[in-house]
Structure 1
Amino acid sequence: MREKTIDYVLRATWMAVAKMYNEEAGKQGSTMATGFVLLNIDPEDGTPSTSLGPKMGMEATSLSRTLKTMENKGLISRQRNPEDGRSVLIQLTDFGKEMREYSKGVVLKFDEKVKENISDVDLKTFIEVANTIIDLISNRKIY
Structure 2
Amino acid sequence: MKEKTIDYILRATWQAVSRMYNEEASKYGASMSVGFALLSIDKDNGIPSTALGPQMGMEPTSLTRTLKSMEDKGLIARKKNPVDGRGVLINLTKLGKEKRELSRDRVLRFNDVVRQHIPQEKLDHFIEVAEKINELISERQIFTNDEADSK
Structure 2: which 5+ runs fail to align?
Answer: 144-151
**TM superposition score normalised by structure 1:** 0.98
SS in 1 for 2:45: coil
Cα distance in 2 for partners of 1:64, 1:29 equals: 18
Cα distance in 1 for partners of 2:22, 2:11 equals: 16
SS in 2 for 1:14: helix
State the Cα distance separating 1:3 from its structure 2 match: 4.6
Runs of 4+ in 1 over 6 A off after TM superposition: none
Distance 1:106 1:2, change over 3 A: farther
Q: What does 1:57-76 correspond to in 2, within 5 Å?
A: 57-76=57-76
Structure 1: which 5+ runs fail to align?
Answer: none
Counterpart for residue 37 of structure 1? 37
State the Cα distance separating 1:45 from its structure 2 match: 0.3
Task: Please give the root-mean-square deviation of Cα atoms over the aligned residues, in Å.
Answer: 1.0
Q: Is residue 2:21 matched to residue 1:4?
A: no
Q: Is residue 2:148 matched to residue 1:140?
A: no
Distance 1:81 1:3, change over 3 A: farther
**TM superposition score normalised by structure 2:** 0.93
Give the % identical residues.
61
Cα distance in 2 for partners of 1:41, 1:128 equals: 27
Distance 1:96 1:109, change over 3 A: same
Q: Which moved more, 1:1-10 or 1:24-33?
A: 1-10
How many residues get paired? Answer: 143
Larger radius of gyration: 2
